[in-house]
Amino acid sequence: MTNLPKRLLSIDVFRAITMFLMIFVNDVAGVDNIPSWIGHTQADEDGMGFADIIFPTFLFIVGLSMPWALRKRIQKGDSFISIFYHIFSRSFALIVMGFYHVNMESYSDESMLPKAIWGLLITLSFFLVWLDYPLAINKILKYALISLGAAALITMALLYKGGEGGQTHGMEPSWWGILGIIGWAYLVSAVVFTVIRANIYLHLSATMLFLAINITSHLQLMPFDIPVVGDASSIMLIMLGALVSLMYSILTERNREEALWSLLAGTAVALTALGFFIRPYAGGISKIMATPAWVTICSGIAILFFAGMIWLIDIKKKQDWFSWISAAGTSTLTCYLMPYILYFIFDLAGFWYPAVLNSGLPGILRSLSISFLLIVLVKKMEKKKLRLKI
């Protein structure tokens, strides 16, 4: 264990697997006649499917990566202002993208532009604004392209119409979308981490505080809503990931390998047991409602899977097994946006998969293939610096 790299390769592989599965479950949601356990459960249903585990796992991975990235900046001597600017700029990018995405859900047929064109233009604008521009690029050209992307986003916001039946409205926040949720949760978690640094006791206390907020909110014991924090479900998952990273660092530095495995297993079992215990009292298991049972059970699953990744990738050195999806771990946001581009192009072309690929096993294989092919495409784009960086 003491020979493990400072930057855990398992985190990147874990992220790649999770993004691959995220693309898969989003695509397979449009396939008929598949086992119910693959998809999401309904909001009023007490339970969860495989798809309901993916998003909380991704939040956990955001937390795993956070201490490594922020401590690197702190060790470089970056000022608090510089670090906070980095945190706010990353959060802002995710919140903006999520804001646009969530408004697509209520896009009106009365809008000037077809939904597919509007969606394609905002996605291309995201690339113009947040592209990982090469260092050698002409600065004037770079900022001209960024300005063009920003202007396009503003224009799309002005052209937007949501609603139906003559009751249209402009862009408005609702649940912020997946990217927006990540952005807000990262903002709170990263600020907390930067303030308390790597103090494991303060971090444990903060994680437990956010878990307590989630539990009391769903037990109807929270007398008020906390702005930005909400029920703290997403923040707790990120904070837990960061806590696990800190535990790893501390115990490996002290050559306490057995203690690490015991602590990971014990924490996973304890969180899972807590989830099943509180399930009858706090809204059951529900991803859509972000109930404590869902949060804690998924946390336990994520920790166990991460422990397996450490063993497989960092100890057994099997990272090459996953090289075919490596771009999903290094250009994750780009991979997340690629299905949107694909579906918009399909819509504009009037194309959809033949019926045989929209049902049962062929449909599942289709979704797996699309997920793989999109990641392969991103890997080729990555080599040409066509990737998002926030």
pLDDT in tens, 229-248: 999 999 999 999 999 999 99
Backbone angles phi, psi at 343, to 5 degrees: -65, -35
Q: Give mean pLDDT, residues 290-315.
A: 97
- For 328-386, the pLDDT digits (tens) are 999 999 999 999 999 999 999 999 999 999 999 999 999 999 999 999 999 999 999 89
Is the predicted pLDDT of residue 5 greater than 60, yes or no? Answer: no
The better pLDDT of the pair 3, 132 is held by: 132
How many other CB atoms are there within 10 angstroms of residue 144's CB atom? 12
Question: CA–CA separation, 370 vs 335, rounded Å?
Answer: 12
Q: Give mean pLDDT, residues 216-221.
A: 95
- For 310-322, the pLDDT digits (tens) are 999 999 999 999 9
Look at residue 1 in the predicted model and tell me its pLDDT.
43
**Which tokens hold the place of 34?**
């598949």
Q: Give mean pLDDT, residues 85-97.
A: 97
Using a cut of 0.85, tell me whether the model's pTM lies above it: yes
Look at residue 270 in the predicted model and tell me its pLDDT.
98
The percent of residues in the chain predicted with pLDDT above 70, rounded, is: 98
Is the predicted pLDDT of residue 43 greater than 90, yes or no? Answer: no
φ/ψ bin of 165: left (φ > 0), alpha (ψ from -120 to 50), beta (otherwise): left
Look at residue 102 in the predicted model and tell me its pLDDT.
96
